[in-house]
Amino acid sequence: MQWFLLLIIIIMNIGVLPLVNRVHPIIIGMPFFLFWYLLSMIVTPILSWWIYAIGKKKHDSDVRSAEK
């Protein structure tokens, strides 16, 4: 799952380039290309946090089972 999220991040930032490389539609005053990277700047840390949370859960349960 963690690797899958990383894959989504990479696709979002470079995989879809041919589709987002355009000026229109203009969203909140931003040309689409800029808007896309503004969006990615907000979405990617959320996905990173998700990766982190999965890892932390796994790590904690590892520690617990090691203690047992």
Q: Which residues bind other proteins (CB under 8 A)?
A: 2-3, 5-6, 9-10, 13-14, 17-18, 21-23, 26, 29-31, 33-34, 37-38, 40-41, 44-45, 47-49, 51-52, 55-56
CA separation, residue 36 to residues 12, 48, 61, 68 (Å): 9, 18, 37, 48
Phi first, then psi, for residue 10 (nearest 5°) are -70, -40
- In the bound state with other proteins, the residue whose beta carbon lies nearer, of 17 and 61, is 17
CB atoms within 10 A of CB 65: 8
Closest approach, Cβ 1 to other proteins, in A, equals: 13
Closest approach, Cβ 47 to other proteins, in A, equals: 7
